[in-house]
Amino acid sequence: MSDSPQPYRVLARKYRSRSFSELIGQDAMVQTLGNAIRRGRLAHAFLMTGVRGVGKTSTARLIAKALNCIGPDGQGGPTIDPCGVCEPCVAIAEGRHIDVVEMDAASHTGVDDVREIIEAVRYAAVSARYKIYIIDEVHMLSKNAFNALLKTLEEPPAHVKFLFATTEVNKVPVTVLSRCQRFDLRRIPADLLANHFANICDKEGVTAETDALALIAQAAEGSARDGLSILDQAIAHAEMGGDALLVTASQVRDMLGLSDRGSTRRLLGLLLEGDTGALLTAVRDQYGLGVEPLALMRGLLELTHAVTLVKAGRDIASPGQSAEEREAIAEWASQLGFAPLHRLWQLLLKGHDEVASAVLPIESCEMALLRVMHAATMPDPGELARMLREGVPAGLPTPQGGEQARLPSEPSAALPRTMQDLVALVDRSKPSLANHLNDCAALVSLNPPEVAVRLTHDWPQGDFKRDLAQALNSAVPGMKWTVRLEESGGGATLQQQEQAEKAAARAEILETPVVKAAMAAFPDAELDDKLEQWSA
């Protein structure tokens, strides 16, 4: 009788990390553990936290192997590179080692389950160097269970190690966290995942397009397990290409219900151009091809985010990005300002949330995009305030892309013409700066949005040019001011002018016959300030 065939093992289990060298994206943690093992500075409790599928439970098992490995000759000690062939390594990998106990806290939440551990830790390990308890999803333990564990966790016997794993570290009591050495396992970068999936495809005898692996890595959102599950599905979905299975990008898009990037770029272009009919037609075409409305909104959000990052000067080039996509993003980044990009993001994000909970997803998607399109022609709050202040009628058209037009009006009516106007404008947002401008700055030139001054005393509270420009930008929305500091020119400051006027008025009063006679009759008399003010 022939042996029955081996049952199929899904890729996520088949390619679970068997050594620390196979653990991708967690180099900092591996280095820390390696140093601790080599120097004999092993903690009694470890806590691994991170999103699903980044290797928390695998890391716990690897630590158990590293601590109990005895080497091929049976004489080895703890090592960051367990041999994988000795009895402890093999037994732990197969989940049958008597001294390595795994417990799922999601199904063992009570204090009685913890009491069993507390009773068992008193006894030495049967055959291993350390008795190890791996508790997965430890945040699921009840409050009483955590309290019962605290004392043992703080002072366990030398032969016991605790390894905890959780996706929600915020639910683990601080008293437990303070007794553990914590490792935050990071999301795995998409490029590392794509390379990892390419290696697995080679081992499985599967041919996969680079773009297909990039799409799978992006859909995995940093989780190796999620990515391997998607890859498993993609291989099952693939067709034969010659002698091997071929996983293509178009198949992955169809399988995941994703819009291709070219279609997303066309949608964003139509959205910015304000072509209502073409936009609705494109949305329905994508829907007819099987693209989910939520995936469509997500694609627009990702593209808007990419444009904003490029606008901010960040390089976002990736292997899966085409030259056409890079050119389109660069062009939008040069044409659009930060204000319309932020508004576009907020409107798309609101639409995404509505589509996610909508009874009619495609209809909600269309309505959300129409709202984005029409809101792009509305003035932002700063522009609206300027319109109201200058008496400009609202509702005038704006140029393509949502940037507010420079509307015909009398802007000079709201702009400063004199130093006094400038001080009054700054006083609205920063009175202390206005006082310094009044007392210690002489106006050299004023041609909005440019102003040049000469300072008689330094501004003690920061950068004068920056602070004055910010105050003016805040007071006059839509205008970017430039401030220059000159070494000469400008005459007197407002304070000096006021003091000169007072001195002139005082001299004029002292020259009047009545005052001169009074001062002659009373040599010690002084002119009262109130008289000066009354005279003025």
Asked if the model's pLDDT at residue 470 lies above 70, the reply is yes
Same domain, 60 and 100: yes
Q: Are residues 317 and 368 in the same domain?
A: yes
pLDDT(367) > 90: yes
4 located within any domain: no
Residue 477 sits in the same domain as residue 505: no
Encoded tokens for 337: 């300002």
Q: Which CATH number goes with the domain that contains 284? A: 1.20.272.10
Q: What is the pLDDT of residues 62-119, one digit of tens each?
A: 899 999 998 888 888 888 888 888 988 988 888 888 999 888 888 888 888 888 888 8
Residue 349 domain-assigned (yes or no): yes
- Residue 216: its H or E element: helix 210-220
Residues sharing a CB contact under 8 Å with residue 246, sequence separation 6 or more, in sequence order:
206, 207, 208, 209, 238, 239, 240
Query: Dihedrals φ, ψ of 285, to 5°?
Result: -60, -45
Q: Is there a domain that residue 392 lies in?
A: no
Q: What is the CA radius of gyration of the chain?
A: 36
pLDDT score of 380: 56
DSSP category for residue 141: S
Give residue-wise pLDDT tens across range 383-397. Answer: 556 555 655 444 444
Domain annotation covers residue 386: no
For residues 123 and 223, membership in a common domain is answered with no
Q: Which domain holds residue 344?
A: 261-375
pLDDT of amino acid 394: 43
131, 154, 184 - which closes a domain = 184
Q: Where are the beta strands (DSSP E) in 362-467?
A: 441-447, 450-455
**pLDDT at residue 522 is higher than 80:** no
Mean pLDDT of 187-207: 88
Tell me how far apart the alpha carbons of residues 169 and 408 are, in angstroms, rounded to a whole number. 58
How many independent structural domains does the chain possess? Answer: 5
- Per the CB < 8 A criterion, the answer to whether 344 and 376 are in contact is yes
The pLDDT-based confidence of 258 (bands split at 50, 70, 90) is low
Same domain for 460 and 349: no
Tokens of 55: 């290797």
What was the pLDDT predicted at 300?
Answer: 92
**pLDDT computed for residue 352 by the predictor:** 93
Task: Assess contact for 440 and 472: CB atoms under 8 A.
Answer: no
**For 327-330, which contacts have Cβ atoms below 8 Å and span 24 or more sequence positions?**
328/265, 328/269, 329/303
Residue 201 has pLDDT above 60, yes or no: yes
Q: Give the count of alpha carbons within 13 A of 143, CB side only.
A: 0
Which residue do the tokens 């390696």 mark? 34
CA 19 to centroid of chain Cα atoms = 32
Is position 398 within any domain? Answer: no
* Residue 383 located in a structural domain: no
Q: Is the peptide bond before 460 cis (omega within 30 degrees of 0)?
A: no
Say yes or no: 425 and 370 in one domain: no
Within a domain: residue 330?
Answer: yes
Angle at 303 between CA 302 and CA 309, to 5 degrees: 90
User: And the tokens for 201?
Assistant: 């495809």
Average pLDDT, the chain: 82
Centre a 10 Å sphere on the Cβ of residue 17 and count the other Cβ atoms it contains.
16
Choose among 190, 188, 185, 186: nearest CA to 302.
190
**473 or 529, higher pLDDT:** 473
Q: How far apart are alpha carbons 491 and 193 in whole angstroms?
A: 67
Rounded mean pLDDT, 363-380: 80
Last residue of a domain, one of 203, 236, 256: 256
Measure Cα distances from 208 to 50, 197, 240 in Å.
29, 9, 11
Tell me the average pLDDT across 395-418.
48
284 and 234 fall within a common domain:
no
> Are 16 and 122 within one domain?
yes
> Are 171 and 48 contained in the same domain?
yes
Same domain, 268 and 240: no
Query: Where on the phi/psi map is residue 274: left (φ > 0), alpha (ψ -120 to 50), or beta?
Result: left
380 inside domain: no
Same domain, 22 and 125: yes
Confidence at residue 163, expressed as pLDDT on a 0 to 100 scale: 92
500-510: average pLDDT: 81
**Structure confidence by residue, pLDDT tens digits, 268-325:** 988 888 888 888 999 998 888 888 899 899 989 989 998 999 888 887 766 556 677 7
pLDDT for 364 beyond 90: yes
- pLDDT for the residue 320: 54
User: Which residues of 185-278 form beta strands (DSSP E)?
Assistant: 206-208, 239-241, 244-247
CA distances from 235 to 211, 224, 417 (A): 15, 16, 72
Indicate if 108 and 214 belong to the same structural domain: no
**Alpha helices, DSSP H only, in 246-337?**
249-256, 261-273, 276-288, 293-311, 323-335
Q: Is the pLDDT of residue 408 over 50?
A: no
**Enclosing H/E stretch for 435:** helix 431-440
pLDDT at 340: 84
CA–CA separation, 437 vs 494, rounded Å? Answer: 8
pLDDT at 369: 92
CATH code, domain carrying 249: 1.10.8.60
Q: Which residues contact 273 (CB under 8 A, 6 or more apart)?
A: 400
Q: In what order do the strands lie in the sheet with 160-166?
A: 100-104, 131-136, 160-166, 45-49, 181-184
Question: Which pair of tokens denotes residue 504?
Answer: 């002139």
- The pLDDT tens digits of the residues spanning 436-464 come to 888 888 888 888 888 888 988 888 877 88
Across the range 490-519, mean pLDDT stands at 81
DSSP element (H, E) containing 90 = helix 87-93
Domain end marker among 375, 405, 433: 375
Q: Which residues pair with 246 in a beta bridge?
A: 207, 239
